[in-house]
Amino acid sequence: MKGTIFSIEEFAINDGPGIRTTVFLKGCPLRCEWCHNPEGLSPHPQLMKKKQNSTNVKDETVMSGFEIESQELAERLLRDEKIFRLNKGGVTFTGGEPLLQADFLCEVLQVLRPHIHCAIETSGYANEEVFRKVLDNLDFLLFDCKHTDDEMHKRYTCVSNRPILRNLQILIESSKDFVLRIPLIPGVNDTKENLFTVRDLLYGASGLQRVELLRYNKMAGAKYGMVGMEYKPTFDTEAEPQIHADILKEAGIEVLVL
C-alpha cells in the first residue's frame, strides 16, 4: 500500500523515548487555528514556495509531500535499528494526522514493531475501529488534547471532540504507555476549568507517563504563505498563555512545561 508523507526527520528528541526518527504523514481532518504545519493539512502533494533571504536569489519552489510504499518506508526506517536499540529510541509517526492513513500506517508498523519501538503523535480524531486497530500496533502514544469543551473545540479546530475523548478513554483502558499533550493557546484552552476537566479525564490512567503543556508557538504562521494559505487566528497571538500546572501536579500527575 502507498501512503503520502512530507518529511522524515532524524535524531528527534521530543517525540517519544530516546533518539527517534519522526515521519510526517500528510492530511489532517482538523483545522486548528494555531497549526504550525500547514503543509500537512492537505492529504495530497502540493507545491511549496520557499522565500530566500537574499534579494539576489530567486524563491525556491519545491514539492511538499510524496508517495511511498509501506515496505519501502519500513525498510528505510529499519536501517537505523541498531542506533535505536543503543539509546532506547525508535520511530514516531506524526502529521498532519497519522490516523487519516491508518491502513498504510498499520502496514508499516507491522513490519517495524518486532524490531523497533513504535509511537504516534495523534489528535485522536478517528472512529473507534480505526483507533483500536492502530493502537494494537503501537508501543507508545503522544495524544493531543486541544480542548475538553465540545463547542470550543468545534470553534477552534472545526471538529467535535467527542471522538477524541472517546478514544482517550479507550487509550486509558488499554494501559498502553502515553503522554498527554496540551497546546496552551492564550484565551482558548489555558483556563483552570479546562485543566480541571483534563485532570478528571485522566483519573486511573495507569499508562500515563506525564502531561506536557506546550506554550503557543508564536512562529506558527511562518509557512502559510508558502502553501498559498493565510494565517488568521482569532485569538491574541501576542498574549502569553496561563500555565496552571499545579492543578495536575496536585493530583499526582507529572507535568512538563515546554
Q: Helix or strand or coil: residue 6?
A: strand
Rounded to whole angstroms, the Cα distance separating 145 from 198 reads 8
- Give the DSSP H/E element, type plus range, for residue 50: strand 46-50
The reported pTM is: 0.94
Name the one residue in this structure whose C-alpha cell is 467535535.
Answer: 160
Rounded to whole angstroms, the Cα distance separating 26 from 13 reads 21
Neighbours of 87 (CB within 10 A): 13
Each residue's pLDDT, cut to its tens digit, for the chain (258 residues) gives: 999 999 999 999 999 999 999 999 999 999 999 999 999 999 999 999 987 665 665 678 999 999 999 999 999 999 999 999 999 999 999 999 999 999 999 999 999 999 999 999 999 999 999 999 999 999 999 999 999 999 999 999 999 999 999 999 999 999 999 999 999 999 999 999 999 999 999 999 999 999 999 999 999 999 999 999 999 999 999 999 999 999 999 999 999 999
Range of the domain at 217: 2-257
- Write the CATH number for 18: 3.20.20.70
Contact between residue 6 and residue 26 where contact means Cβ atoms under 8 Å apart:
yes
In eight-state DSSP terms, residue 70 is H
DSSP string, 145-176: ---SSHHHHHHHHSS-SHHHHHHHHHHHHHT-
- Structural domain tally of the chain? 1
